[in-house]
Structure 1
Amino acid sequence: MPTSLVLGFGQNLLDRAGAEREADILAGAPESGTRFVAVAGEVAILSAGPEGATALLSPDRIAGEDIRERVFLGRLDGAPVIAAGLDPARAEALREDPAFLVLDLRTIATQGSVPVGEIGMLAQAKSLLLWHSRHRFCANCGAPTAPGQAGLRRDCAACGAQHFPRTDPVTIMLVARGDHCLLGRQARFVAGSYSCLAGFVSPGETIEDAVRREVLEEACIAVGRVRYHLSQPWPFPSSLMIGCLGEALGDDITIDRDELEDCRWFARDEVASMLDRRHPDGLITPPPMAIAHHLMRAWVDGATP
């Protein structure tokens, strides 16, 4: 199975239809076949049915007055798909309705609650709707802003500034030295879970140097070669996880206790047992929906920096 089919938030079947964004596609009655992807704060509203749940809701499933924000996401099989931002209080009411499922995006990705291809739409919708809710005023002059380009931009009528959604790049890296790799855990992790080290890319920094800096800061391990492997949208709130493989130049770990609860070297066969949930001490890795899982699997299977 291709990695994209199991990597959480990496599957999106939409044609983003950028050429249509200058038109007022959100005005008036919805086109025939229009579907909504509904998000209320941190949770998504799914339609429940005998054949499973779906994130694609028909217009009659959402009352117009409930929608606080609309963003055109793109087209699916020629029909528009629109993100609908709902009041979080509405989500609480829908929890009692058996026709709907109200779930956070991590749960949806981990459990496979929606068909392949819809999870990326949910990530896209959540990131954009949260950005709109946090950018009601112009960062340049402080005046109110209004949606533009069918929700892909916010415009300030007072000073003419245009504001676009941001994506925050994060490096996540499997750093190895011979037949051992470096894994760590934070105190908030599930008990016994170890993962790849990760950190935000700083302004003016390359991806490779961000990998080297983060590993040096958190574990005091110098890193030489760095190679890109794969990436993952991460809508918490709007990051892009950039997965890399790195070559460690030393062995001695000094842990930054402000960042990590533990950090140590793991042998290749031990990581394999953690991935397969058969480690004798019950140690585990993140689930297959997480990019860290696939970086570890690639290394166990022989991938090198």
Structure 2
Amino acid sequence: MRHAEEVTFGGSGLDRAAELRGDIPALAALMQAPETRTILLWRGKVLMLQDGSGLCRLPLDHPVLAEARGEPLFLGREDSGAIFSHDISGWEPEGEAPGEGGFLDSTEQAHPACPGAHFVELRALLTQLTPRDAELGATARALFGWHQSHGFCARCGTKSDVFMAGWQRICPSCGAHHFPRTDPVVIMLITRGNACLLGRSPGWPEGMFSCLAGFVEPGETLEAAVRREVVEEAGIKVGAVRYLASQPWPFPASLMIGCHGAAESDEIEIDPNEIETARWVSREELAAAFDGSNPGLQPARRGSIANFLLRNWLADRLD
């Protein structure tokens, strides 16, 4: 698609400055530079300005950073200076109720050292973030999530050390190098004539439907993954498949690979272990769902790649 990177978390042109990740003197100089800023995370949530103007960028001498656990991550450079990220997940908000379970945690937390800002779940901000803030937030969340779950060497079990400004871990025992993990997931806009195939998973909000999706398996092409997942989940055979767009999805570490597939059958037979139900939805039904006149059908949330693909299909903009 010619406008593929318009999707949320699409490329913002951030200079990731990978050549500086192993340059300790250069990184030290950046951390002393007055224009350098950091974005703050707490248990996967990002610190946002309460006036709605975007991510809260803090100077590196801000007192709240004394609570940071582990080392800061180097995210890259903006025109205004270098950008790092710190994590203060060890902070316990006073009198804080536990976060909501289910589909989305909509609670917000305010740290007393950061007036005018609050921690917000990134998925609640999909339609509010600028492309740059979205890329920074997604990158920081994915990296911190990887460090949290990959602290030990997968080869020998020894606790590994952080290297390359947070972009590698190295085992001090066997010397193995470990890199941030990204799991490829195909998400499919499957069409047949004037209709598209949508499904829903248990636990989703009532009436919500989205494109089918699934992880790519080892030794499998994207096209094969699309055909396999659609057959497994809905019993529909798919012919021609083409790539459309991608979206980083750091919940915790996926890359959503949007594809268009042409269905060669239309009789749905779901696997209840995979999805709750599936249905064919006409263009007219989907358009009514998007404009609010079809309350029985809720399409995927705006900001998700599924919503992006469906809207562009309605507008005949899949080229």
TM-score, normalised to structure 2's length?
0.87
CA shift, 1:275, in A, is: 2.2
CA shift, 1:4, in A, is: 4.0
CA shift, 1:133, in A, is: 1.6
- 1:210 and 2:222 matched: no
CA shift, 1:274, in A, is: 1.5
In the other structure, the counterpart of 1:291 is 305
**Which of 140, 156, 161 is the aligned partner of 1:125?**
140
CA shift, 1:91, in A, is: 5.9
In the other structure, the counterpart of 1:154 is 169
In the other structure, the counterpart of 1:195 is 210
In the other structure, the counterpart of 1:56 is 57
CA distance in 1, matches of 2:4, 2:302: 9
SS at the partner of 1:120? helix
Letter in 1 for 2:170: D
**Which of 80, 96, 101 is the aligned partner of 2:118?**
101
String of CA shifts for 1:102-155, please: whole Å, max 9, x gaps.
101111224x1x444111100000100111122221111112211111111001
**Which of 279, 286, 289 is the aligned partner of 1:274?**
289
Contact 1:83 1:129 in 2 (8 A): no
When residues 237 and 152 of structure 1 are mapped into structure 2, their CA distance, relative to the original with a 3 A threshold, is same
CA distance in 1, matches of 2:111, 2:84: 25
Contact 2:69 2:90 in 1 (8 A): no
In the other structure, the counterpart of 1:73 is 75
Contact 2:126 2:302 in 1 (8 A): no
- 1:17 and 2:17 matched: yes
Contact 2:35 2:82 in 1 (8 A): yes
CA distance in 2, matches of 1:274, 1:242: 24
CA distance in 2, matches of 1:44, 1:258: 34
More off after superposition, 166-175 vs 16-25: 16-25
Identity of aligned residues (%): 41
Contact 2:46 2:122 in 1 (8 A): yes
In the other structure, the counterpart of 1:221 is 236
In the other structure, the counterpart of 1:38 is 40
**Which of 188, 192, 200 is the aligned partner of 1:185?**
200
CA distance in 2, matches of 1:167, 1:43: 19
When residues 55 and 63 of structure 1 are mapped into structure 2, their CA distance, relative to the original with a 3 A threshold, is closer
Letter in 1 for 2:89: D
Unaligned runs of 5+ in 1: none
CA shift, 1:220, in A, is: 0.5
CA distance in 2, matches of 1:166, 1:64: 26
Contact 1:198 1:214 in 2 (8 A): yes
Aligned length: 299
**Which of 84, 87, 91 is the aligned partner of 1:85?**
87
The runs of at least 4 aligned residues of structure 1 exceeding 6 Å deviation read none
When residues 302 and 52 of structure 1 are mapped into structure 2, their CA distance, relative to the original with a 3 A threshold, is closer
Letter in 2 for 1:19: E
CA distance in 1, matches of 2:46, 2:39: 8
SS at the partner of 1:117? helix
String of CA shifts for 1:181-204, please: whole Å, max 9, x gaps.
111111221111111000000111
Letter in 2 for 1:109: L
CA distance in 1, matches of 2:265, 2:148: 46
SS at the partner of 2:158? coil
**Which of 189, 213, 216 is the aligned partner of 1:174?**
189
When the two chains are superposed, the root-mean-square deviation of aligned CA atoms in Å is 2.2
More off after superposition, 205-214 vs 67-76: 67-76
